[in-house]
Amino acid sequence: MNNFEYKKATGTQEASNAVTGHSDAMFIAGGTNLVDLWKYNLLHPKLVVDINHLPEHRRITELEDGGLRLGALVSNADTAYHPLVESRYPLLSKAILAGASAQIRNMATNGGNLLQRTRCYYFYDADVPCNKRVPGSGCPAMDGYNRIHAILGASGECIAVFPSDMCVALAALEAVVNVSGKNGGRRIPFADFHRLPGDSPEIDNILQHGELITSIDLPEKGFAQNYSYLKLRDRHSYAFALVSVATALELEGDTIRDARIALGGVAHKPWRVREAEAVLVGKKADEAAFTAAAEVLLTGAVGLKYNAFKIELAKRAIVRNGMMALHPETQLPGAQPSA
Ligand SMILES: Cc1cc2nc3c(=O)[nH]c(=O)nc-3n(C[C@H](O)[C@H](O)[C@H](O)COP(=O)(O)OP(=O)(O)OC[C@H]3O[C@@H](n4cnc5c(N)ncnc54)[C@H](O)[C@@H]3O)c2cc1C
Ligand code: SF4
């Protein structure tokens, strides 16, 4: 029996203060990741601060600069099916709908999605060492079954990947995360929000203890004409990505004027390489161009015993998804080919 205290927050500052003032306190939103981790005996919060009763963070609003603000407490489902998201940021809708299941997407919130933990099997087994769970204890995945693990940006301490689909699209769209803490608010560009494991794999992102994610801002440019999200996995649904790709293109005729490509399932954070996107600009949108970009994106990739296949898989996924982005109207909503 784990005893804990429950507090229902009625204001942003109150919620943030409650967690800041208690080293073993955590926020709970949809609970779809937190409660699992708790049941697996991986978390032991002494105070749980329920943020579900903050209506100001449960809405989607248009911004004066032409962008869109997604409240942190809006569910993944309500975000994916919101008319403005569907029409202006269909890449984001598609990525969200590629994740989890309908039931989970109804509970899961946008803020919680950014903070979900890795799905590394060893991380979820409290009986084995894991540097992310217990710093300095070791990483059994290095010489173990590492099929789902990182091929880019890993360290000698941890080779876990970040499992979110939504965040791959948010990286490509260059979203900004709004947070509120004891020192007020700050805006964090999406590329800076998650971090690589380095020698402190226990830290997934740059949030301070007690900082509350209040919303996520999407810039005006939504790439609604040419986009695609491709998720390759072992099962057709209810499975995390082995490799996923979010591609957003701006075309003039068949020439690429702007391009974004973000990869999921390959690193400790959504993976973007600006040089790879620059390779595409001014080129004809064809397989040759996407193949050249894929080579740059996968520069430095390292395969381990069971995951080396992901390097070629990622390259082919980039090319295939680039070609799919030229004809987004031919993609069925939510349809995803299996790996
Ligand atoms: C079976 C299963 C399959 C899944 N498949 C996929 C998938 O294919 N793709 C995918 O992307 N995801 C998948 N998910 C993950 C799911 O999307 C996340 O669990 C969910 O988004 C987390 O949101 P939540 O609101 O439930 O967060 P919670 O579980 O409530 O919280 C998660 C973490 O975030 C913190 N937190 C929550 N909200 C805030 C906030 N506003 N500010 C600060 N901290 C906060 C909590 O303290 C906790 O640490 C799956 C989950 C399950 C259980
Ligand atoms: S890869 Fe990271 S999360 Fe997985 S066992 Fe190693 S240290 Fe833990």
Identity (one letter) of the amino acid at 244?
S
Tell me the CA–centroid distance for residue 292 and ligand 2, in Å.
32
- C-alpha angle 69/71/75, rounded to 5°? 125
Rounded-to-integer distance, Cα 20 and Cα 14, Å = 10
Rounded alpha-carbon distances, angstroms, from residue 61 to 95, 166, 295: 20, 19, 39
Identity (one letter) of the amino acid at 142?
M
Average pLDDT over residues 231-260: 95
For residue 44, the number of C-alpha atoms closer than 13 Å in the C-beta half-sphere is: 6
Pocket test for ligand 2, best of 139, 147, 148, 304 (most atoms within 8 A of CB): 139
Q: Please say whether the beta carbons of 267 and 162 come within 8 A.
A: yes
| Tens-place pLDDT, residues 34-51 | 999 999 999 999 999 999
Task: Indicate if the pLDDT at residue 336 is higher than 70.
Answer: no
Task: Indicate if the pLDDT at residue 339 is higher than 90.
Answer: no
Predicted local confidence at residue 338, as pLDDT = 41
Task: Indicate if the pLDDT at residue 283 is higher than 90.
Answer: yes
Task: Indicate if the pLDDT at residue 337 is higher than 60.
Answer: no
Q: Please say whether the beta carbons of 202 and 120 come within 8 A.
A: no
Tell me the CA–centroid distance for residue 238 and ligand 1, in Å.
14
| Tens-place pLDDT, residues 134-191 | 999 999 999 999 999 999 999 999 999 999 999 999 999 999 999 999 989 999 999 9
Pocket test for ligand 2, best of 37, 40, 118, 147 (most atoms within 8 A of CB): 118
Helix (H, G, I), strand (E, B) or coil at 208: coil
Rounded-to-integer distance, Cα 238 and Cα 101, Å = 6
Helix (H, G, I), strand (E, B) or coil at 38: helix
Grade residue 332 by pLDDT with cuts at 50, 70 and 90: low
Predicted local confidence at residue 2, as pLDDT = 82
**Ligand 1 contact via 123 beta carbon (within 6 Å):** no
Tell me the CA–centroid distance for residue 253 and ligand 1, in Å.
40
Contacts of residue 253, Cβ cutoff 8 Å, sequence gap at least 6: none
Task: Indicate if the pLDDT at residue 245 is higher than 70.
Answer: yes
**β-strand 68-71 against 60-62: which pairing, if any?**
antiparallel
| Tens-place pLDDT, residues 89-144 | 999 999 999 999 999 999 999 999 999 999 999 999 999 999 999 999 999 999 99
Helix 287-297 × helix 309-325 angle, to 10°: 140
Predicted local confidence at residue 1, as pLDDT = 75
Tell me the CA–centroid distance for residue 73 and ligand 1, in Å.
11
Contacts of residue 127, Cβ cutoff 8 Å, sequence gap at least 6: none
| Tens-place pLDDT, residues 58-69 | 999 999 999 999
Predicted local confidence at residue 238, as pLDDT = 84
